[in-house]
A and B are shown apart, each in its own frame.
Chain A
Amino acid sequence: KQEVTQIPAALSVPEGENLVLNCSFTDSAIYNLQWFRQDPGKGLTSLLLIQSSQREQTSGRLNASLDKSSGRSTLYIAASQPGDSATYLCAVCYTGRRALTFGSGTRLQVQP
């Protein structure tokens, strides 16, 4: 079964810390992988999309990496801020599938 797993489910860090969120997937035949942010009571906002041919993507303080052979992606957040507090979800578009498969997310709390 093609699944996506995110560990840990929740994470609390002090402001200013660099942190890494993890995502693993069960099948290396992927089309692309996306990272989303979800604020409480809101929809999801797309942060980064990595195509299967890419190793990483960067946007501001965010850097996402992709290692298909090990079935892993990481989202690196530099110099975390309280405004980064949200749930971060990873989603994989598996080859031959037209829709994304989502992980359960990591709830991040950045303490001021």
Chain B
Amino acid sequence: NAGVTQTPKFQVLKTGQSMTLQCAQDMNHNSMYWYRQDPGMGLRLIYYSASEGTTDKGEVPNGYNVSRLNKREFSLRLESAAPSQTSVYFCASSELSGSPLHFGNGTRLTVT
């Protein structure tokens, strides 16, 4: 009963390094999302994919790219990490836009 799986759980990067955060869901959901959570700011939407083959920018997309590899997987890439991208990143999925959201356990990223 995995639900939404994110890897890695923790990551430390130096400024300028790149990395990809992986997300997979096994609930056959159509919509997938990437959020970042910062203290006192709630969750902010980075990118989302309403269905396989589509992606759209959210509230804070600068510095990130995404790939909806197939219906199960939605990855988030940081091409050149900056200290401002230190955050906890959450992947989520839902059957359709507006349906109950299911979250992964998050990736805690530190950029030094």
Quick check: B42 and A105 within 8 Å, CB to CB?
A: yes
**Which listed residue (A46, A101, A104) contacts B102, Cβ 8 A?**
A46
How large, as a class, is the contact surface on chain B?
20 to 34
Query: Is A34 located at the chain interface by the 8 A CB criterion?
Result: yes
**Per-residue 0/1 for A76-112: is the Cβ within 8 Å of any B Cβ (1 yes, 0 no)?**
0000000000000101010000111111110000000
Q: Are A98 and B42 in contact (CB under 8 A)?
A: no
B27 to chain A, nearest CB (A): 13
The reply on B26 being an interface residue by CB < 8 A is no
Query: If the complex has contacts A34-B101, A98-B31, are A44 and B48 also in contact, measured as CB distance less than 8 A?
Result: no
Q: Per DSSP, are chain A's interface residues mostly helix, strand or loop, or mixed?
A: strand
Please measure, in the bound complex, the distance between the C-alpha atom of A64 and the C-alpha atom of B106, giving whole angstroms: 26
Give A79 to B35 CA distance when docked, in angstroms.
33
Which one of A41, A93, A98, A105 has the highest number of Cβ atoms from chain B below 10 Å of its Cβ?
A98
Interface membership of chain B positions 62-73, coded 1 if the CB is closer than 8 angstroms to chain A and 0 otherwise:
000000000000
How many chain A residues touch B (CB < 8 A): the figure is: 24
- CB of B61 closer than 8 Å to a CB of A: no
Enumerate chain A interface residues (CB-CB to B < 8 A). Answer: 4, 9, 31-32, 34, 36, 41-46, 49, 89, 91, 93, 98-105
Known: A32-B98, A100-B45; 16 extra A-B contacts, CB below 8 A, are A9-B40, A31-B98, A36-B101, A42-B105, A43-B4, A43-B90, A43-B105, A46-B102, A49-B100, A89-B42, A89-B43, A93-B98, A99-B45, A99-B48, A102-B43, A103-B42
